[in-house]
Amino acid sequence: MTHEKMITEFGVGLLSVKVFADRGSMGKAAASEVADEIRRVTSLKEDVNMIFAAAPSQNELLNELSAAHDIMYPRITAFHMDEYIGLPEDAEQRFGNFLKQRLFSRVHFKHVHFLQPSDRDPEEECVRYSSLLKNITVDIVCMGIGENGHLAFNDPCAADFSDPLLVKVVELDEQCRLQQVHDKCFPRVEEVPPKAITLTIPALVNATFVCCVVPGRSKAEAVENTLTKEIAPAYPASILRRHPHATLFLDRESAARVL
């Protein structure tokens, strides 16, 4: 499928990279590709399992998906990929609440499984959430890349391409916490929780299809590292270059250092 505002398309390893003129056209193209994949999966089996990222970088994608009422959402079971530890249940910064506002409350999913670290010990919550994931095939992941190259909250200090776990507790590095301030999710870095629960790298990249949406000037270095540095945990998103069905959607600003 071609898109009017796509600037260029190229591959790095197995990863397909598509660059668009602006965030709006990027989000529309990404949503179109995700919708096509949902239709493909539902033509083959009854249910679809999807994992979603929660971040301002995903806004355009989520807005487009929430407006796509031709998608068979009642056949989709949804998960999200990370959650802060220590925030109140109703905190707007909680990723479950972010996704509920932008997607889960707008269309009717078959099931939505929220990470709930407030309900129990975080390690117990990791076990509970892992049990939901371990016996299913994850069909589609909608993700972004952090300023430090992280996938979910797998910062360079915590990323493990051979992680034996599906879900784990991590300490967030300083650049990751600063990004939450840059994204205007928190007013000060001191208010960003130091710990979180995250799905691991294998839990994410073992999905059949990955849609990675990364707009904005602040992500240009991370995009460059993802596409040009060695494939190693020091650059967590570099693992996408080994995925046979992954697409990286960029806008002009995030692609500035690779064009």
DSSP-derived pairing of the beta strands 6-12 and 15-20 = antiparallel
Residue 256 lies inside a defined structural domain of this protein? no
In a domain, 258, yes or no: no
28 CB-near residues (< 8 Å, 6+ apart) = 3, 60, 64
Residue pair 110/72 in contact (Cβ under 8 Å)? The answer is no
Q: Is residue 241 part of a domain?
A: yes
Residue 1 domain flag: no
Residues 72, 41: contact at Cβ < 8 Å?
Answer: no
Question: In this structure, is residue 257 part of a structural domain?
Answer: no
Digit-coded pLDDT (tens) for 145-168: 999 999 999 999 999 999 999 999
pLDDT tops 50 at residue 1: no
Non-local (6+) Cβ contacts of 183 within 8 A are 55, 56, 57
Is 35 among the domain residues? yes
Residue with tokens 């064009």: 259
**Does residue 259 form part of some domain?**
no
CATH of the domain at 100: 3.40.50.1360
pLDDT tens readout for residues 185-234: 999 999 999 999 999 999 999 999 999 999 999 999 999 999 999 999 99
**192 domain residue, yes or no:** yes
Domain that holds residue 182: 6-251
pLDDT reading at 2 higher than 80 = no
pTM: 0.96
CB-side exposure of 31: number of CA atoms within 13 Å? 21
User: What is the pLDDT, as a whole number, of residue 120?
Assistant: 75
- Count up the domains in the chain and report the number: 1
